[in-house]
Amino acid sequence: ARNTLTQRMLYPGCAAEITLDFSKMKDGDYAGLCILQSCYAFAAVTKRDGKTYLVMQNKEAAKAFFKEMSLEFRDNPNVIYEICNEPQNSPWASVIKPYAEEIIPIIRENAPDALILCGTNTWSQDVHEVLNDRLSDQNTMYVMHFYAGTHKDDLRNRLKSALDSNLPVFISECSITDASGNGAIDYDSAEKWMSLINQYDVSFLAWSLSNKDESSALLKPSTQSLSAWSDEELSDTGKWFKSKKN
């Protein structure tokens, strides 16, 4: 095939770097990779309306994964299935919703009552795109992520508007640092987020339960225990989230 590079994958690990020149691409063109190893994957650059976007697809692997997992955990009502994490450059109506409509029935075959979470566009921030175009599944919630140091009133108001419209929103990732997971803690913005969360009784998950040397980690880098952490083992972020437990 023309313009094709083959890289043989060596077990147990292999790495390759490819530089793509897409300066002469036209709208609708794709330039990228097709990875054929067990389940296939596709990574490419495409051009739409004069702008370039990164495209990554592995839908068949997703179908196989959620079929296997929903079968494995069909008797575990505490398992939550998040089918799409932080999509980018992926409009709800044309990309995310059609994908969800293929994945959700696969889970429902084995887990008819399980909670399913579906990410929204722009790192799971664009919940407003869903308001007038919801999924038919009655036990699917729509995901928003925030980092208090980066995301302020604009995103809080977007969440409030969605909740006022009775959109079921689940915050499956958040922290009180900036969006890199590092940087200074923004306590003022964090308190505003928590006030909104408590006002609407929104479920949330804090990023991240780790001892990584970054400010969003809930544990100090020196922490080695795997559970039952003392306050001395918690980072400043960890102490803040602990103080907010109901």
User: Which pTM value belongs to this model?
Assistant: 0.79
Is the predicted pLDDT of residue 3 greater than 50, yes or no?
A: no
pLDDT at 18: 66
70 phi and psi angles, rounded to 5 deg: -70, -30
pLDDT in the model for residue 212? 94
CB of 49 within 8 A of CB of 71? no
200 close to 219: Cβ distance less than 8 angstroms: no
DSSP state, 169? Answer: E
Instruction: Name the active-site residue from 86, 191, 214, 233.
Output: 86
Give catalytic status of residue 191 as yes or no: no
Query: What Cα–Cα distance (Å) separates residue 177 from each residue in 12, 153, 202, 217?
Result: 36, 15, 20, 10
Q: What is the pLDDT of residues 65-123, one digit of tens each?
A: 899 999 999 999 999 999 998 888 889 999 899 999 999 999 999 999 999 999 999 99
Across 59-63, 93-97, 167-171, least confident range: 59-63
Establish whether 86 is a catalytic residue: yes
pLDDT band at 21 (very low <50, low <70, confident <90, very high): confident
Indicate left, alpha or beta for 121 from its phi (over 0: left) and psi (-120 to 50: alpha).
Answer: beta
Residue 81 and residue 70 in contact, taking contact as beta carbons nearer than 8 Å = yes
Q: Give me the residues paired with residue 41 across strands.
A: 35
Which member of 72, 109, 173, 214 is catalytic? Answer: 173
- pLDDT range class, residue 246, cuts 50, 70, 90: low
